[in-house]
Amino acid sequence: MMPKINDFTEGKTLSNVASPLDGIKVLDFSQGISGGIATKMLAVMGAEVIKIESPQSGDISRSRGPFIDNIPHPEKSGQFLYLNMNKKGITLSLDNETGIDIATQLIEWADIIVENFLPGKMDEWGIGYSAIEQINPAKILVSLSPFGQTGPYKGYRGNDITAQSLGGLAFVTGDPSREPLQIGGEPAEYFCGLSGFSGALVASTYKEISGVGQHVDVSAQAGIGVAQMYSGLSYILTGKERGRRLASSPLYKTADGQVGITLRQTDWPGVCEMIGRPELEHDEKFKDMDAREKNQDEITALIAEWASDKKKQDLYHASQERGMTWGYICDAKDLIESPQYQHREYFVELEHPIAGKLTYPGLPMKWGGDQWNLKPAPTLGQHNEEVYGSLLGWDNEKINQMKNSGIV
């Protein structure tokens, strides 16, 4: 059962009370980022997460970099190590009836099941939501997919750029005189996973109230639609496209990088003061946002010359002292050395039995001011004996037999 709110009394921290999701049991069938981040969040917050991987190849993240020393190795993938903290790892083949039967037994143990296969794949295996509901109607299945479990696109494959494109984000990203751009990284995958994490929590709360489970259906495309209603909502309200526009916070080169300088109405007086041109505040060519957009080339030239010999962090702090929302572009070194990250102890160091001692990004939220108890990702099949022995009652002979036959 989920802990009740009054279980967490004032003044207590993670060190002297249970983690918020203690007692929740999660079975993770997922591959890659979306399911990986959803179940990682559950695991770090105290849920017992058992991650299922293929005995032959493991999770797809194991084959994706960055790798330690740029040498591909299934136990040294930065993506896998980051996404699978605090989980127990087992191997299980789902390509045969024996494996499916074992998966069904594990489903009986779990409160929450997470998967991110194409819609219909779990049903094909005989462990879709209808089958899970028959096992126990209180169980929760979280399904993450490019387009959701219903609709004409449900069987279509997709990735991050697919979601950004069909979710409308790419259309409003980039220079208006150029082609649309994909935002760097894989934000659609992570947003989909965080939506799955949120959905699992809501479904768990509903289960506490009603005793009934749910099938949480998360669409990466819909997630991007939620994350940016910039163009969609504008079109609904005005009937007009709102595509790529000149940035209200252009980037300018400095002596050591780049800084974003806002030209919004509330910041304009401060910009003029900062660059030593206070008379520009009331110049007709720059009096409001529309005027500044029409004459942005002239403004850009003025600010670019002024900023070229400055340090990016100096400009950032000076602008913040004036209440302006400037920002500087952080490279990897800036991120690691950020005094804000350091103060919040965001980056943590963990020892992995094969990858060794590494520094990992933490979580964006804290719990009662304490630190989360982070643990390294499992090696492939690391917890086979523990899980199959304790949950299914297998002895070493049975485990070795299943391993030799390629089942685990």
Let me know: does 259 contact 328? Beta carbons within 8 Å.
yes
The structure tokens 């003044």 sit at 11
Report the DSSP pairing between strands 257-260 and 327-328. Answer: antiparallel
- Among 103-112, 241-250, 351-360, 398-407, the least confident range: 241-250
**225 part of a folded domain:** yes
**Least confident segment among 9-18, 23-32, 146-155, 191-200:** 9-18
Within a domain: 162:
yes
Element (H, E) at 218: strand 215-219
Sheet holding 140-145, edge to edge: 88-91, 48-53, 25-28, 112-115, 140-145, 215-219
Is pTM beyond 0.85? Reply is yes
Query: How many structural domains does the chain have?
Result: 2
Regarding whether 114 and 36 lie in a shared domain, the answer is yes
Same domain, 357 and 256: no
Task: Give the CATH number of the domain where residue 163 resides.
Answer: 3.40.50.10540
Asked if residue 160 belongs to a domain, the reply is yes
Q: Please, which pLDDT band fits residue 6 given cuts at 50, 70 and 90?
A: very low
Same domain for 358 and 300: no
Residue 199 and residue 110 share a domain? yes
- With beta carbons less than 8 A apart as the criterion, state whether 114 and 392 touch: no
pLDDT confidence band for 247 (50 / 70 / 90): low
Q: Within a domain: residue 235?
A: no
The pLDDT value recorded for residue 365 is 87
Domain end, chosen from 325, 358, 388, is at 325
What domain range is 173 assigned to?
5-229+346-404
Residue 342 token pair: 């350091």
Is pLDDT at 3 greater than 60 in this prediction? Answer: no
The whole-number pLDDT of residue 13 equals 46
16, 97: one domain: yes
pLDDT for the residue numbered 246: 64
Pair (131, 55) in one structural domain: yes
Domain stop point among 292, 325, 358: 325
Quickly tell me which residue has 């991120």 as its tokens: 335
Q: Is residue 44 part of a domain?
A: yes
Q: List, for residues 166-176, the tens digit of each pLDDT value.
A: 998 888 888 88
Spell out the long-range contacts of 230-234 with Cβ–Cβ below 8 A and sequence spacing 24 or more: 230/168, 230/172, 231/168, 231/171, 231/172, 232/168
Of 277, 296, 325, the one marking the end of a domain is 325
Decide if 337 is inside a domain.
no
Inform me whether the pLDDT recorded for 272 exceeds 90: yes
Instruction: Say yes or no: 26 and 121 in one domain.
Output: yes
Residue 303 sits in a domain whose CATH number is: 3.30.1540.10
Separation between Cα atoms, residue 201 and residue 334, nearest integer Å: 34
Residues 83, 139, single domain; the answer is yes
Examine residue 234 and state whether it is found in any structural domain, yes or no. Answer: no
| Same-domain status, 279 and 372 | no
Q: Which of 69-78, 194-203, 257-266 has the lowest mean pLDDT?
A: 257-266
Same domain for 198 and 271: no
Residue 69 lies in a domain: yes
Give the pairing of strands 257-260 and 251-254.
Answer: antiparallel
257: left (phi > 0), else alpha (psi -120 to 50), else beta?
left
Q: How much is the pLDDT for 301?
A: 93
**19 and 62 fall within a common domain:** yes
Q: Indicate whether 284 and 173 sit together in one domain.
A: no
